Structure 1
């Protein structure tokens, strides 16, 4: 069996990946999507080919020998986007770290290098696979040379393969004749002028009939149509020049070595470090090397004896007292363990790093007490994910002020990241490459890791404490530099304690009622199934988009079918347009809603009911880029409210005996924020007059007296009002209101005429984001908008919408956070039994003791109204009920 070599056209594949993979950036701000896509394509090709050799060829961006032969047709390719250009040297560095040969030569394009190397390797008897997104390389195809053309779309890669016979089947010409076709039709992207007036179809027919440009010219009077004949006759010199430009050189001077192309161990320590820097976490599992790292100075100690533990704490206290004179008295700590605490990792210097197991004489209570003493002595006590550890910390009010959550600080500085692990913090803020938890422990839990990998476990937990200790200072400086220290200290850190209290409280659920609700849904779902089968005239899998598409658009021949690669689209927007006139479609939409309700809520919520009969959801404050809180395991913020059957599920959530629910939510908070931040006089006046804002907008936009505004006009104005907050486009509004794009554009135009201050405000946000790279909320929260620098139009458009809506949504999120912090603190300060148990976007839910209802309502009203000082009143709606449904 012949040996095999893979040759990759570097710039071509990078370019394909750049436009095929959504924009990615690492913590250093480096765009990485092209590198990521390139590596995915390369790994896919190598796994398929099982090659023995690999070489990647790059262009040198200078005029090539082919273009220098002709004056005005010298290489003048459009320069690559900056986001792609910065990735090229990094890509070469990655390939070098993996031991992959890279070739480039001034005066030659990559396809010339590939052409020469492919011919050389074929002559040596190797099987050759050339990987490129450029179809010019099809001219290199033979029985032994295969051209592979990848297509990357939405993160997935498909590859077209061409040997010589495949080129003939697809293009009706041989690989050599493919040059002539391109020469006739030209290629502006490759600076090949071609023959004016001859397109691909005509060029192909001419070469199929005559075999070559030269032979066609000899029979030029026979060529049809006449315009093609005249074009070739008048521009034969251009056709010959184009053929020279289109022909890939196969005998140029190439710096290629077959020995250097030999594939060795790709997954080297050097490559691992680069993958870590690029933050390609899902690729790290390919590496089976001993994890390289810059070792932290100092040593890790595992302390087990009580007298040693006391000595450790005494030493740390002495260090803190000494350092307090230098104004740098800090500790880093992390409690380790899932359900039960295993121990405490501590750091207060490069050498003072230790892990103290909670075992034997060293109890959890003892460690809590000693940690509390250290926090009281320290200027700052830094940790990772404070909320998960609060149950293991004894705190005074003064101690609370000293705590510093590194994850939250890092989130404020860069809210676009999907995680804030200790190794990421070490890399970004300390310049250290240290092993991650996955590197050291794999997927093992803490308990299993401590038993099975004691040394790796010890290293991991000490790295965590050390990173918290050292990174806190850098993070604090970052917050000061970005004017977000006050936001961190007065909103985000106090919120940790409020969310912890809410998680501990949970919400009571009637499990039997939830079960009955699920059974009722099941009955209705079964009825819908039978009705759908009857109307369709056959049984099929309603949950299968492919089968559903066939039934609707082929068997029932409904209009509006959109064919995709996998079949007809049955997306919600497609079906919703068909529903008014097709009963089966309406039933299918209802079926989808009810099956979602049953699986996610009726059945799904039951799994989260704890022994106390309550669901204790987890509230996250480092997930959304706008600053909104999210809820997981389960997501209680996503309980349906738009359809009555969905709202009914709220009935299973009840207050504890002797309590009622009090629900308070802000009325149109984002529009009120918009009025304040835009300083639009008309919008401010409307709110100060307590007018129906949607009716008022409809009256002014449609030039209709206020009292004569129709329900439809008010509904349309409402869509525009809320759409403006989200940076809606005319296309988006037209889809939402089922009107033409022109009508939607007119609505938006009239809106901005009515509220000119809003238009100016939104435009200024985009300008600021383009200049500074971010936008801010009223409270100083920053939202980076890197999309505005993208060369991709869709990405830039998305960035403009983000720039417009983030300050509004983020300010609303800040206000609700401030309100919930103050409400929770008031309830505790006044020693009430009532407690805050849930936050859903603009809504707060209190489980109120019946004897405290009036006090709770007063607290809610006062704290929610004064959470922010706006130029328009903050209004709240408040209701009381025996379950969440009634209260809402």
Structure 2
């Protein structure tokens, strides 16, 4: 079998992916669009090419041996956007997960690495395929070497063989360098001969074959001006040839023997995909996603008992307890049994014996009996579902681990134990399997695994608490996260009532709207077709209606949302198509999606709040995500009409913090102008526009305020000139000028951004107002890209994290206040900076007084916290 070598130009493909896709980031705020596009292409290559050898080559730095020849080589290139730079380290991590070699060489470019290895492969008569977006590599084309070039995006590729190159560009591979010598290359700042473009260069090479032969026959050139240009710029032409020539003898420290590709381990790739948020790509991974779990060494001896009844003298008043459930969605998952461990014994209690035991219920509901658990929120919900209102939870293994290691993705009991050097427990996958292979083992094996995990909580509690105290995080754990977990558990168990009939009516109305838009589109198109088929839509738009073609794919014209948005002003059919897609997504994802998760017995949705997920401390919501119901379109906002109070004559009450992150920024940065604006209750976006544009308030246009708002909020998230240029549709130069003027105005903010980075470098982490930590190991990295991301994170985490701490504190205080006032009102949801409650209509006046007072008084800053509220029969009315 012939060896097949795939050589990928890493920088070129990453650039293409970055600019082809909108800016994406995962739940940790890490930009991922370049990695996502690159990964899509990589999976396709592995699937179609079946390589035996692979390498991804990267540029090592800005300076190369070519700069000795011409100092201005690649001069004038725009600086790489930091949103892209930060993705390169993760791209290398991705390649490591796939077991694909990658390489860079100081003073050389990726092209030179590829050229050298392609030549070696060719000499061994291997099949070589080079993948890039850079036409310079076409000089490598031969009978053995194919160069596959991406066009506008990544999915559209031309595979250049010698015959295809001749047909497409009318030159042979060895003429590519001479063509570049004559026409130059503005992207690499190669001068060439001024005034000679590709057409003239090709014409000359057709006639004279080579640059040398052309200059040997210069006298024969017809056309005085052309002849003069060639004469006057002979030196430039030969220098350009030297610059454009790929080095095929670069001093590489690797060879073909270092490049075998034997496939990848699915579990390594899937773990990284989950971390990056690439859920849609998981199904494309070959093999068992779980992978082969490493077999642990023999476990130490462990004594445990399976109880058939529970007596009162079982409990000592200080127990660890694990409620074992195999599925993530614990609202519907069955309890497989209980682990209970104290100083005397390790017990496993089958579910039916525990929940039907009055002794167990009495112990669980006694606040004086201390309980140490894994995931207090899950424990609360699981037991409430069985009619047991658990009290006395003193310690949560999950939350403690999360606060100590917020960047870790795995906080299950075995993973925490293994990080602490404890090997006396197996991973759940080793006992239960994973995915389609998930199943319950025999009771003895189940009982041993559950009690081993429970015993670890009992044994490690003190050392974890000590770590929290050393980190000055014990108060955050005890006073904030622990009480909040119980409150969230109660909120989840309560659920939110949904008017199923109203949702179904909305679905029917959306169907009518979709049909109506479909008919309008048919009328404008002059024929009927499938609106959801790009293959049918493309010819209508770009052939029949003659709209400009922006991007083509292998299967035809691209009709993606970003393409249609660029064509919005070209034809009235485009806005209708965009609306059709938006409404279609509302119908499938939200209307149909919500109807699937409504509990039929109580018409409620029980979302799950993730308390131990984000590194900033913000809560997220899953199964379903109620924090993400779209509100840009009125039809999206109207979905909230289906969320109602759970009883007749009750109301929904919503209260949200106004600009909390900017107020936190004013406090942390101690910026005089921001503090003054908030203390005087000025519109902060108008104020910023006045300061930055140097105009009076009555001269501020809506666009000026919009730009000021984008910078105000962008600063909180460490926005770059590239990011701002994308959100405002302006040039990077204009965006940079805007950011510079902002920082010249708000000197406290500028000082904060500089000082927090220095503090992070010294401490290795940043903290929120309540001492929540985020560790930044890359803050002192020599790698510019890793360091840049860490610096951006250092700036925005204290702001976002402090805002998260404040609303959590407000939730705890409000919970206590509602109990103290002996009202029936209760919290249902937290949506970022907003709290949703339900209450009898008779309690409205009390809520108007209590909720803003508690939320605004959650913490004292040097600017006031401001809360807006609204109420009505539904969540939509409470706006």
Q: Same fold (TM over 0.5)?
A: yes
Please tell me whether residue 293 in structure 1 is matched to residue 285 in structure 2. Answer: no
Cα distance, 1:599–1:32 mapped onto 2, change above 3 Å: closer
For residues 590 and 24 of structure 1, the distance between their equivalents in structure 2, rounded to whole angstroms, comes to: 22
Q: 1:724 aligns with which of 678, 691, 712?
A: 712
1:638 counterpart SS class: coil
For residues 751 and 501 of structure 2, the distance between their equivalents in structure 1, rounded to whole angstroms, comes to: 55
Q: Which residue of 2 aligns with 1:414?
A: 406
For residues 253 and 798 of structure 2, the distance between their equivalents in structure 1, rounded to whole angstroms, comes to: 57
Q: Contact conserved, 1:333 with 1:345, CA < 8 A, in 2?
A: yes
Q: Contact conserved, 1:723 with 1:733, CA < 8 A, in 2?
A: yes
For residues 253 and 219 of structure 1, the distance between their equivalents in structure 2, rounded to whole angstroms, comes to: 43
**Alpha-carbon deviation of 1:837?**
1.5
Q: Which residue of 1 aligns with 2:395?
A: 402
Q: Which residue of 1 aligns with 2:279?
A: none
For residues 629 and 613 of structure 1, the distance between their equivalents in structure 2, rounded to whole angstroms, comes to: 24
Q: 1:685 aligns with which of 673, 676, 680?
A: 676
For residues 259 and 241 of structure 2, the distance between their equivalents in structure 1, rounded to whole angstroms, comes to: 36
For residues 250 and 784 of structure 2, the distance between their equivalents in structure 1, rounded to whole angstroms, comes to: 38
Cα distance per residue 1:114-137 (max 9 Å; x no partner): 466535533xxxx53355658787
Cα distance, 1:509–1:484 mapped onto 2, change above 3 Å: same
Cα distance, 1:613–1:202 mapped onto 2, change above 3 Å: same
Compute the RMSD of aligned alpha carbons. Answer: 6.3
Q: Which residue of 1 aligns with 2:128?
A: 129
Please tell me whether residue 633 in structure 1 is matched to residue 623 in structure 2. Answer: yes
Cα distance per residue 1:240-285 (max 9 Å; x no partner): 9889x7574699999877xx9998x7568xx978997998995583
**Alpha-carbon deviation of 1:56?**
6.2
Q: Contact conserved, 1:409 with 1:488, CA < 8 A, in 2?
A: no
Cα distance, 1:591–1:46 mapped onto 2, change above 3 Å: closer
Cα distance, 1:715–1:507 mapped onto 2, change above 3 Å: farther
Q: Contact conserved, 2:323 with 2:338, CA < 8 A, in 1?
A: yes
For residues 804 and 610 of structure 2, the distance between their equivalents in structure 1, rounded to whole angstroms, comes to: 13
Q: Contact conserved, 1:186 with 1:195, CA < 8 A, in 2?
A: yes
**Alpha-carbon deviation of 1:819?**
0.8
Q: Which residue of 2 aligns with 1:615?
A: 605
For residues 103 and 741 of structure 2, the distance between their equivalents in structure 1, rounded to whole angstroms, comes to: 58
Q: Contact conserved, 1:217 with 1:232, CA < 8 A, in 2?
A: no
Cα distance per residue 1:184-237 (max 9 Å; x no partner): 889999999999999877766555434455655654544674357537976999
Q: How does 1:75-474 map to 2 (within 5 A)?
A: 114=117, 117-119=120-122, 121-122=124-125, 128-131=127-130, 133=132, 142-143=142-143, 145-147=144-146, 149=148, 161-170=159-168, 172-175=170-173, 207-212=205-210, 215-216=213-214, 218-222=216-220, 225-226=226-227, 229-230=230-231, 248=248, 285=287, 291-295=293-297, 297-299=299-301, 303-304=305-306, 306=308, 333-337=322-326, 339-345=333-339, 356=348, 358=350, 365=357, 381-384=372-375, 386-387=377-378, 390-392=381-383, 399-406=392-399, 409-410=401-402, 413-415=405-407, 420-421=411-412, 425=416, 430=421, 437=428, 441-444=432-435, 449-450=439-440
Q: Which residue of 1 aligns with 2:4?
A: 6
Cα distance per residue 1:654-712 (max 9 Å; x no partner): 34135333333333333433333333334333433445555666666677776xx37x7
Cα distance per residue 1:80-126 (max 9 Å; x no partner): 9999998999999989x89x99999xx9985686466535533xxxx
2:648 counterpart SS class: coil
**Alpha-carbon deviation of 1:818?**
0.9
Q: Contact conserved, 2:380 with 2:389, CA < 8 A, in 1?
A: no
For residues 475 and 849 of structure 1, the distance between their equivalents in structure 2, rounded to whole angstroms, comes to: 43
For residues 252 and 546 of structure 1, the distance between their equivalents in structure 2, rounded to whole angstroms, comes to: 46
2:3 counterpart SS class: strand
Q: How does 1:765-776 map to 2 (within 5 A)?
A: 765=756, 775-776=766-767
Q: Contact conserved, 1:773 with 1:784, CA < 8 A, in 2?
A: yes
Cα distance, 1:430–1:369 mapped onto 2, change above 3 Å: farther
Cα distance, 1:500–1:409 mapped onto 2, change above 3 Å: same
State the aligned residue count.
837
Q: Which has the higher contact order (CA 8 A, sep 6+)?
A: 2
Q: Which residue of 2 aligns with 1:327?
A: none
Q: Contact conserved, 1:301 with 1:355, CA < 8 A, in 2?
A: no
1:298 counterpart SS class: coil
1:631 counterpart SS class: strand
Cα distance per residue 1:340-360 (max 9 Å; x no partner): 2111356789xx997836167
Q: How does 1:548-627 map to 2 (within 5 A)?
A: 551=540, 555-556=544-545, 562-563=550-551, 565=553, 567=557, 571=561, 575=565, 578=568, 587-588=576-577, 590-610=579-599, 611-627=601-617
1:518 counterpart SS class: helix
Q: Which residue of 2 aligns with 1:663?
A: 654
For residues 423 and 83 of structure 1, the distance between their equivalents in structure 2, rounded to whole angstroms, comes to: 32
Q: How does 1:839-858 map to 2 (within 5 A)?
A: 839-850=830-841, 852-858=843-849
Q: Contact conserved, 2:366 with 2:390, CA < 8 A, in 1?
A: no
For residues 734 and 60 of structure 1, the distance between their equivalents in structure 2, rounded to whole angstroms, comes to: 26
For residues 39 and 517 of structure 2, the distance between their equivalents in structure 1, rounded to whole angstroms, comes to: 47
Q: Which residue of 2 aligns with 1:326?
A: none
For residues 46 and 137 of structure 1, the distance between their equivalents in structure 2, rounded to whole angstroms, comes to: 21
For residues 70 and 355 of structure 2, the distance between their equivalents in structure 1, rounded to whole angstroms, comes to: 80
Q: Which range moves more in the overlay, 756-765 or 809-818?
A: 756-765
For residues 657 and 254 of structure 2, the distance between their equivalents in structure 1, rounded to whole angstroms, comes to: 70
Q: Contact conserved, 2:689 with 2:708, CA < 8 A, in 1?
A: no
Q: Contact conserved, 2:179 with 2:202, CA < 8 A, in 1?
A: yes
Cα distance per residue 1:815-843 (max 9 Å; x no partner): 11111112113334555433211222332
2:830 counterpart SS class: strand
**Alpha-carbon deviation of 1:757?**
3.6
Task: Name the larger-Rg structure.
Answer: 1
Q: Which residue of 2 aligns with 1:822?
A: 813
Q: 2:487 aligns with which of 490, 495, 498?
A: 498
For residues 206 and 496 of structure 1, the distance between their equivalents in structure 2, rounded to whole angstroms, comes to: 76
1:816 counterpart SS class: helix
What TM-score, normalized to structure 2? Answer: 0.72
For residues 366 and 584 of structure 1, the distance between their equivalents in structure 2, rounded to whole angstroms, comes to: 68
Cα distance per residue 1:477-526 (max 9 Å; x no partner): 66556544433332222221111111111222333333334334443443
Cα distance per residue 1:766-792 (max 9 Å; x no partner): 666677776543333345678988999
**Alpha-carbon deviation of 1:169?**
3.8
**Alpha-carbon deviation of 1:31?**
13
Please tell me whether residue 486 in structure 1 is matched to residue 485 in structure 2. Answer: no
For residues 859 and 834 of structure 2, the distance between their equivalents in structure 1, rounded to whole angstroms, comes to: 16
Q: Contact conserved, 2:401 with 2:416, CA < 8 A, in 1?
A: no
Q: 2:826 aligns with which of 835, 847, 861?
A: 835
Q: Contact conserved, 1:131 with 1:149, CA < 8 A, in 2?
A: yes
For residues 365 and 251 of structure 2, the distance between their equivalents in structure 1, rounded to whole angstroms, comes to: 77
Q: Which range moves more in the overlay, 744-753 or 508-517?
A: 744-753
For residues 471 and 160 of structure 1, the distance between their equivalents in structure 2, rounded to whole angstroms, comes to: 59
